[in-house]
Amino acid sequence: MRPRTAAPIRSVAIHVVLGVVLAFWMVPEAYMFSIAMRTPAHVFDSTLFTWPATFDNFVTVMRDNPLIIFFLNSLIITIATVVVVVAAASLFAFAVAILKLRGSLVLYATLLTTLMVPIASLVLPLAILLKQFGWINHYLGLIVPYSALGVPFAIVVLKAFMEDSPHELYEAARVDGCNAWQTYIFVTLPLVRPALVFVAIWQFIVSWNEFFLALIVMTQSEMKTLTIVPMQYSGLYMANPGALFAVLTLIALPLIILYIVVQRAFVRGLLAGAVKG
């Protein structure tokens, strides 16, 4: 087979395989949306799609809950957490990888140990501390813990990117008279921009989907986040699968839209450090 003929066939075969894999991966999402669109009589049908479809479950969820307030609460907490994590992690990674400050490697190794601690084991101690600080039913009650839990992973990613970046640029900046802050802002941040995008998107997804701390910290109705809403439609006596999956669809929708918009930057940041040089 000629090379010119083999290349299109290989491309088509790869796309077909990827399409099949994508179809399997999308089955849970399709089933979630399908249940959200079902009537009570067909909610337990085993088929992937049923007819007739209805938006009554979404209407029920919106009627029973102030979803706009919950959405804004989740958005404020998530965006604030992303800003804190990106800023703190990039500064710390810069101190370890570029400035090589004395004692920074010890602090870095200490932070790495926090990645091995399960979040469930921290819920009770954090709840006690937050109550003493007066941060129960306060945005800081979630922003600070989310940031503290997200910074170690972000530091690992950003430190690796900074170490792989060309150090000649840092030496040139030092020769030109740039201080540490100028080097950080004008040299380091542009070099590791793909990693910053990856960390920001990853932290957005993690903070948006977090449930345990939000359930304990936000007890007042006007302070609840969107991920707490599904609880009232699940359980032994208050089960409403249609409304439950309607809420889950609304929670997942912003993340799907976000990934569609920034998927190229996300993949670029994920793979940018895979090859040195």
Q: How many domains does the chain have?
A: 2
Residue 276 lies in a domain: no
Q: What is the CA radius of gyration of the chain?
A: 23
pLDDT of amino acid 236: 55
| Residue range of the domain that includes 170 | 66-271
Residues 178 and 264 in one domain: yes
> What are the tokens at 159?
């430190």
Predicted confidence (pLDDT) at residue 14 exceeds the cutoff of 80 = yes
Residues 170 and 112 in one domain: yes
Predicted confidence (pLDDT) at residue 77 exceeds the cutoff of 90 = yes
What is the rounded distance in angstroms from the CA atom of residue 196 to the CA atom of residue 154? 9
Residues 93 and 220 in one domain: yes
Residue 249's pLDDT band (cuts 50, 70, 90) = confident
Residue 2's pLDDT band (cuts 50, 70, 90) = low
- Whether the upstream peptide bond of residue 52 has omega within 30° of 0, thus cis, is yes
Q: Across the chain, what does the average pLDDT equal?
A: 82
Predicted confidence (pLDDT) at residue 237 exceeds the cutoff of 60 = no
pLDDT of amino acid 276: 44
pLDDT of amino acid 4: 59
Contact 252, 230 (CB under 8 A): no
- Percent of the chain whose predicted confidence (pLDDT) is above 90: 13
pLDDT of amino acid 160: 85
Q: Give pLDDT tens digits for 123-165.
A: 888 888 888 888 889 999 999 999 988 999 899 888 888 888 8
Residue 59 lies in a domain: no
CA distances from 256 to 68, 147, 159, 228, 253 (A): 18, 23, 28, 19, 5
Predicted confidence (pLDDT) at residue 79 exceeds the cutoff of 50 = yes
CA angle 252, 253, 255 (to 5 degrees): 70
pLDDT of amino acid 143: 93
Residues 73 and 46 in one domain: no
pLDDT of amino acid 274: 47
Residue 26 lies in a domain: yes
CATH of residue 243's domain is: 1.10.3720.10
Predicted confidence (pLDDT) at residue 169 exceeds the cutoff of 70 = yes
Residues 86 and 183 in one domain: yes
Span 171-188, average pLDDT = 84
Q: Give pLDDT tens digits for 192-205.
A: 888 888 899 889 99
Q: Give pLDDT tens digits for 262-274.
A: 777 666 655 554 4
Residues 184 and 261 in one domain: yes
**Sign of the CA dihedral 175, 181, 186, 191?**
positive
pLDDT of amino acid 275: 44
Residues 85 and 192 in one domain: yes
Under the phi-then-psi rule, with left for phi > 0, alpha for psi from -120 to 50, and beta for the rest, what region is 133?
alpha
